């Protein structure tokens, strides 16, 4: 395992761990690790290393960070490892005469292990080396880094919200990195009807296999309900906007073509997103854009509806369609087209289409104020063709937006080829020819439960 070897080599190279102690640490690892775990992951699980230190080792392997053992393993962490792992192993390796009446060392070990397992199962935050981590009942404590959920070892926190948390994890059977979304309990039992609906939605999402949608790989609700999803190792569009200020129109057109194709695939199985925003468009290393949380965006039961903080609410309101603000349960795919347009607007101008001092003020502007064309806000950067596509996506009335994802995708693909002076026909000239659009089935309750954000999109 490259990371295990790197960690041991760093400690040896910097002369911080003598050869004998290094060998004992390696032997302890061989006895203790779970299938698929390397040494850094095991140390994260047991609370010695932080997920940040583990990621630092990855960057060292790739040459992005200088190889320094103190960067990955601070002095205090190494002291704990030596005192709690290496020195006990060193004492066991040096035989001593047992005291009269003393229990055999192996028996003492078993008793210590049972005690540590008992403590861990009751929600202790400190694991003992060699102990099996037992996930606590959700009413006692929420899952944490180092816990095992099903076959997934939680290795880091990707984000959290009012209803759940998202962890990075190692799927121990498949030996791949995944994202795990966990429902947080407020201490009350989770209704059986909620569990059944969560399961149905996860099964539906698992059948959706499209390159522009993050895949659902597994679902479990025997204890803490959680969904295992594809982990996209790249930034979100929100990250890209934050880093660059705004996104080049040609690159943005490619990103939003991918996003529209993912949303179209979801619509074909009856899913409406209802929470399209920069944080839910992920950019893979190969340049592909993927829609996250497709079909996970509507809460339909009182138990799953909880109060969200104002920052979270305003962040969502920055992209919400006017009709969705009135009734989130009765919207169709055209609400997603609006939100996709508002996200497109933000990406190419670096500004939100509407701003307000409160969620209510922002929603009122989405519902009543005409949007300033992006070509005016970012003159010389956003051409008239791209501006016209965005304005049409953000039409106040659903009937004035694109009548289908096919029509939208055709225009998005054409942005790179279309002369700057040309633009799609205006909404007013096409309203009369729009076909009736049936309301898509409801997406269900997963999204509101699993809604998360590591930082605001705006």
List active site positions.
Answer: 275
Dig out the tokens for 21 from the structure. Answer: 């102690």
Dig out the tokens for 366 from the structure. Answer: 């989405």
Taking a C-beta distance cutoff of 8 angstroms, is the pair 144, 433 a contact?
no
Reported as half-sphere exposure (CB side, CA atoms, 13 A), residue 442 has a value of: 17
Taking a C-beta distance cutoff of 8 angstroms, is the pair 222, 441 a contact?
no
Give me the long-range contacts of 29-32 (CB less than 8 A, separation at least 24): 29/4, 31/130, 32/129, 32/130
Neighbours of 132 (CB within 10 A): 13
Handedness of CA 279, 284, 289, 294 (dihedral sign): negative
Neighbours of 136 (CB within 10 A): 19
CA distances from 420 to 68, 348, 424, 446 (A): 52, 16, 11, 42
- Per-residue b or e along 260-282, where b marks 16 or more CB atoms closer than 10 Å to that residue's CB: bbbbbbbbeeebbbbbbbbbbbb
Q: What is the DSSP string of 220-265?
A: E-SSS-EEEEE---S-BHHHHHHHHSS--HHHHHHHHHHHHHHHHH
- Per-residue b or e along 36-53, where b marks 16 or more CB atoms closer than 10 Å to that residue's CB: bbbbbbbbbbbbbbbbeb
Q: 30: which residues sit within 8 A by CB, 6+ positions away?
A: none
Q: Any bridge partners for residue 171, and if so which?
A: 152, 176
Q: What is the DSSP string of 39-72?
A: HHHHHHHTTSS-HHHHHHHHHHHTTSS---HHHH
- Per-residue b or e along 138-160, where b marks 16 or more CB atoms closer than 10 Å to that residue's CB: beeebbbbbbbbbbbbbbbebbb
Which ranges of 46-160 does DSSP label H, i.e. alpha helix?
51-61, 69-72, 75-81, 87-93, 105-121
Kind and range of the H or E element at 158? strand 152-160
CA 299 from chain center: how many Å? 19
């Amino acid at each position: 395992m490259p990371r295990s070897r790197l960690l041991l080599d760093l400690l040896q190279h910097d002369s911080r761990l003598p050869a004998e102690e290094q060998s004992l640490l390696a032997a302890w690892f061989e006895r203790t690790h779970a299938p698929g775990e390397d040494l850094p992951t095991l140390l994260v699980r047991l609370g010695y290393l932080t997920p940040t230190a583990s990621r630092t080792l990855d960057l060292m392997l790739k040459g992005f960070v200088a190889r320094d053992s103190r960067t990955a393993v601070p002095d205090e962490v190494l002291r704990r490892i030596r005192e709690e792992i290496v020195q006990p192993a060193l004492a066991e390796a040096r035989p001593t005469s047992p005291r009269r009446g003393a229990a055999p060392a192996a028996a003492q070990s078993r008793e210590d292990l049972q005690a540590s397992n008992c403590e861990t199962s009751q929600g202790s935050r400190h694991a003992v080396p060699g102990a099996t981590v037992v996930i606590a009942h959700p009413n006692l404590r929420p899952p944490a880094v180092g816990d095992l959920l099903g076959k997934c070892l939680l290795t880091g926190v990707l984000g959290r919200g009012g209803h759940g948390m998202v962890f990075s994890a190692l799927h121990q059977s498949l030996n791949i990195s995944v994202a795990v979304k966990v429902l947080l309990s407020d201490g009350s039992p989770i209704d059986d009807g909620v569990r059944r609906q969560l399961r149905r939605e996860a099964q539906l999402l698992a059948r959706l296999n499209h390159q522009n949608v993050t895949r659902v790989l597994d679902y479990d609700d025997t204890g803490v309900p959680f969904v295992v999803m594809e982990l996209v190792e790249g930034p979100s569009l929100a990250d890209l906007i934050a880093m660059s200020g705004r996104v080049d129109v040609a690159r943005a057109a490619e990103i939003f073509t991918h996003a529209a194709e993912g949303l179209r695939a979801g619509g074909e199985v009856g899913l409406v997103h209802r929470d399209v925003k920069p944080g839910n468009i992920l950019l893979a290393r190969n340049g592909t854009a993927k829609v996250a949380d497709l079909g996970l965006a509507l809460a339909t039961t009182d138990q799953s509806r909880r109060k969200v903080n104002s920052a979270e609410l305003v962040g969502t309101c920055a992209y919400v369609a006017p009709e969705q603000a009135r009734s989130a349960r009765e919207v169709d795919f055209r609400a997603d087209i609006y939100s996709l347009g508002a996200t497109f607007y933000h990406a190419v101008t670096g500004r939100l289409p509407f701003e307000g001092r409160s969620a209510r003020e922002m929603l009122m502007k989405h519902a009543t104020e005409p949007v300033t064309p992006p070509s005016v806000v970012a003159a010389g950067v956003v051409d008239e063709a791209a501006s016209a596509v965005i304005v049409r996506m953000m039409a106040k009335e659903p009937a004035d937006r694109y009548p289908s994802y096919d029509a939208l995708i055709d225009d998005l693909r054409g942005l790179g080829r279309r002369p700057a002076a040309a633009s799609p026909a205006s909404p007013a000239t096409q309203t009369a020819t729009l076909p009736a659009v049936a309301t898509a089935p409801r997406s269900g309750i997963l999204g509101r439960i699993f809604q998360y954000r590591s930082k605001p999109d705006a």
